Structure 1
């Protein structure tokens, strides 16, 4: 199957570095990961040649990485908990603090992201509630080999809401673009926002397109292939 006919989620989870290409061209590979690359490019009216070439180059020169489709479910859950759940709980309170400082000091600047701190606070509350439901209810079920359609669909719907929250974040910050005279606090805030966006999109990708997908009977045991330690 050609790259153009594969879904963004398939490409992002199988081609190391593809997510960076998608970020560059603002292609939503998490909540919008079900679209084929062809459909996504048409939707955004983007030419295919440069993007396909970049992805083909990554395929031809792969870097060492863990293919999360091949690891035991419990290992993937642990990775999500430590790499994303813990990280979001560190990121958002600090970003809220920075945003309030920027809004206070630069309130009269037309580029000031007015309302950003409140929006980040709302994001934190929603994300914390979401993560708690995963940690207390869904993840233990998945770790036990149970794939409940209802709770999974609820989490996927909430992922769409997180995607909407990222869209609003970009609207408030002019696509997270710093003004020319931005101070150090403003700069640190927007660097953190870009990191949050990329982390949250990768987090949703791993859950929607790998963790929540029930494995075939041949892949249910915990003896599936795991990349070597040098990939960690």
Structure 2
């Protein structure tokens, strides 16, 4: 029996059943930075039928009930940090440099007739810089502090963590804003009908980047950092 209702927060639904992230993303419902709202309210803002969405969520929940590996919200803090690093940080370090030349080529070749591509290039450059610096800060500074706090909880460690976590959440908000603008100016990552292979490839991979980054932000904001606040 599902425990989800119209009053369940969007972020809590994604924590319990990560696959619902794809549903929310398709419906343009924010589940990371703006996920702490009831499903009913989130649906109302998008002029959607909350009851229909709830049934889709319950169907997904049933389908994924035995798929334990895809439920990172149940991992311990050290396991969750390792999961974030191996899945999301590794993806960003590989994908962002690999995608850069394609984005550059697209703007150079098609920018004259599609000026929005020049903005895509600028946003992607800002996003790449922010995300790579952000993940390095987490790996070198914040995650070791969290592991230290989990191993030996203390008031001092908790106080050290507070401003760092707050800063990371602000950076998540900025990255989320850039991704939202990217989606808007690319019409939901939909290339023109006559788009070439590079055009389609870039938009497809930008959509993948958005999906991965929103899941990444959700796991940190709504699971890992939320646990740190509860432990304090």
Task: Please report the TM-score for the alignment, with normalisation by the length of structure 2.
Answer: 0.87
Corresponding position of 1:182: 195
| 1:86-132 deviation line (CA, Å, top 9, x unaligned) | 11122122222111111121133347522212221111111122112
Corresponding position of 1:106: 110
Which of 55, 58, 64 is residue 57 of structure 2 equivalent to?
A: 55
Whether the 8 Å contact between 1:16 and 1:65 is mirrored in structure 2 is: no
Q: Which runs of 5+ in 2 are unaligned?
A: 151-156
| 1:45-74 deviation line (CA, Å, top 9, x unaligned) | 212232111111122332513332322211
Report whether the alignment pairs 1:86 with 2:114. no
Residues in 2 aligned to 1:84 and 1:176: alpha-carbon distance in whole angstroms: 21
Higher relative contact order (CA 8 A, sep 6+): 1
User: What are the within-5 Å matches in structure 2 for residues 45-194 of structure 1?
Assistant: 45-62=47-64, 63-66=66-69, 67-110=71-114, 113-144=117-148, 145=150, 146-147=157-158, 148-194=161-207
Corresponding position of 1:20: 22
Residues in 2 aligned to 1:16 and 1:130: alpha-carbon distance in whole angstroms: 23
SS where residue 3 of structure 1 aligns?
A: coil
User: What are the within-5 Å matches in structure 2 for residues 21-40 of structure 1?
Assistant: 21-40=23-42
SS where residue 123 of structure 2 aligns?
A: helix
Corresponding position of 2:225: 212
Q: Which runs of 5+ in 1 are unaligned?
A: 218-232
**Larger CA deviation: 25-34 vs 114-123:** 114-123
Residues in 2 aligned to 1:52 and 1:28: alpha-carbon distance in whole angstroms: 16
Task: Please report the TM-score for the alignment, with normalisation by the length of structure 1.
Answer: 0.87
Aligned residue pairs: how many? 217
Corresponding position of 2:154: none
Corresponding position of 1:226: none
**Aligned-residue CA RMSD (Å):** 1.8
| 1:140-187 deviation line (CA, Å, top 9, x unaligned) | 011122442211111111111111010121133122111101111111
Superposition misfits of 4+ residues, deviation over 6 angstroms: none
